[in-house]
Amino acid sequence: MEFTLAIFLVAFILLVALAFYYEHPKAEIPQEVDQRIKLYILHYVVNFAFGLGRIFEKLGICKEVYLIRTFLYGISPWKNDVKLFIKDLKFAKVKVRVYHPKAPSAGQRRGVLYLHGGVGQIGSIGMYERVCRFIARGSDSVVVCVGYRLAPEHPYPTQFWDCLTATVHFMTTAQDYGVDPTRIIICGDSSGGTLAAAVCQTLVSRTDLPKPRAQIMLYPFLQAVDFNLPSYQQNGSVPLLLRKRTLTLGMQYLNKDLSLIKDVLEGSHVPEDLKLKFSKWLSPDNIPMEFKIRGYKPSASASYSEELHALAKPVFETTFSPLLAEDAIVRQLPETFILTCEYDVVRDDGLLYKKRLEDNGVPVTWYHAEDGFHGVLFLIDYGYISFPCGMRAMDNVVNYIKGL
């Protein structure tokens, strides 16, 4: 018995060591980050998941992404929510989970469509159970979490089309769920923010549907043109989303060769004519100086590769990079809430979209978590694992929804 236990412990230690050998990016967490020691621990847990996934794939057990999904699924709440009716449904063949407040309402409620993050490969309805319950309870809204199909089983842009399909279905059947179809809010975090922005842009041309009441983007990824913006330079080693991992996940999502990463990070995929076109929207000059004081060095222009541009062409599509939409689309978007976190590589995506929206006359409510980091909202309502800055940010989201 003791010998068997010893063998098991040795095997476990070797497995952990191998996992960190395959995935051990260095983390640099500033003192100002909320509960930084806890974030360090989470960083190593995530690294372990990625490293273990890589080992399993090399051994032919399963694909890396499948192990990561299982590991990061999250712990579902132990108890049923006494304040909500929760039901799994399908909206035109797309899986959804509907959270409906039990308390009677004097009239039709707001509806919130939640598009989860995970770079189109990792997230799920179950992972966001606590987030959606929190929003439904706090805002007294009907929340619909969309379980869009994931890559690589369902290649990009399946995720966008599933989200659009579920959104259109909800808009046309809203009253069946006690929801006012003119008060539907489209919300998403991280790559779910990408999807929310892309869906709202697409709905601009749908005159047969009511206009969304608002869009909510929580630390969204919005462009794959410039990975040398101030936030990428300052926060490239701050968990939970590291600079190189951002592009690695993005390339896997698009089913592209990971050997492209280095040149894409340097910007070699962008031809001069597009650099000129996008500069008015993506220029670091559009980012307030207060966000450059922690250090920013303008990057040298990389040599252009026509071959790389052809391979990376999907990153210029607005379903992947909504920040590249034309002004004619942007000016028709609904009022917007944007959450940015100071210690987040995609912070400046949110800041740049905020400016674009405001320049085009779209009202924007902005909340900046000065001690926040990417992914902090996913951890709300987890007790000790939760971060105070995440709770404060989510309270602001809920209060915004209540005001619509």
**Residues marked as catalytic:** 190, 344, 374
CB-CB contact of 363 with 337 (8 Å):
no
CB-CB contact of 296 with 234 (8 Å):
yes
3-class state of residue 208 by DSSP? coil
Cα torsion angle, 312, 315, 317, 320, sign: positive
In our burial notation (b when 16+ CB lie closer than 10 A, e otherwise), range 86-105 reads: beeeebeebbbbbbbbeeee
Q: Which amino acid is at 132?
A: C
CB-CB contact of 239 with 39 (8 Å):
yes
CA dist 207 to 110, 186, 334, 367, Å? Answer: 21, 17, 14, 31
Tell me how far apart the alpha carbons of residues 317 and 324 are, in angstroms, rounded to a whole number. 8
CA dist 112 to 69, 105, 170, Å? Answer: 25, 16, 10
Q: Which amino acid is at 32?
A: E
CA dist 47 to 72, 75, 123, 235, 238, Å? Answer: 11, 19, 17, 17, 13
**What residue has token string 């902005």?**
366
Q: Which amino acid is at 224?
A: A
Tell me how far apart the alpha carbons of residues 84 and 81 are, in angstroms, rounded to a whole number. 6
